Homo-oligomer: A and B are copies of this chain.
Amino acid sequence: MSQVSQATVQRVTADLYVEVQQFYARQMPLLEARKLEEFLETLTEDGSIEHRPGGWKLEGRQQLLTEMRARRGDPEQPLVEEISAREARERNVSYYDGLVYRYWFDRMHIEPVDEDTLRVRYQAIVSMTDAAGKVSFEPTTVVDDVLVRIDGELYTRSRIVTHDSPAWADKIHNPS
């Protein structure tokens, strides 16, 4: 056990832990419900989301909104053909059509940087349920967020999603 991690543990109060848990419990259902503007209001104006390795980084609410509008789809639409994340971007395909996707987070580790900045690391997996009830999972990931508190409210300033499969972006994301 390093001294750093000991120190970290001592600094995470129960109130902070619960505040962070409740932040994600409000944030992520907005993305799942395709309430994209509301979701992006839980990021800072210059908030960024980056996918590694071999992925892409989107910066600022406007760039994120454009991308998400084009990709996040509609669960009421038919399933798209089999396609990868990279190909969906290149061919501008709405690749979450026909799917309810849900994020599952676990083992959230919180590290305060200063009074209004937190590093939060967790693992995440995305489930996809289609209209017929078939469930599939995207490859697992580890996520590193920086959260900031502005006027008493938490916001995501940056999110780096590191995928456990190096081939994640080229994988067919909803094989039949």
Interface size on A, residues (CB 8 A): 58
What are the 3 closest A-B residue pairs judged by CB atoms, nearest first? A14-B14, A133-B171, A133-B165
Q: Return the chain B residue nearest A153 by Cβ.
A: B1
A165 contacts B129, CB within 8 Å?
Answer: yes
Q: A1-B42, A164-B100 are in contact. Are A108 and B139 (CB under 8 A)?
A: no
B22 contacts A18, CB within 8 Å?
Answer: no
B153 contacts A25, CB within 8 Å?
Answer: no
Residues of B with C-beta under 8 A to A104: 104, 106, 123, 125
Q: A14-B15, A18-B14 are in contact. Are A165 and B132 (CB under 8 A)?
A: yes
B133 contacts A41, CB within 8 Å?
Answer: no
Q: Which of A4-12, A56-64, A86-94 contacts B (4 or more CB under 8 A)?
A: A4-12
Query: Is A135 close to B, CB under 8 A?
Result: yes
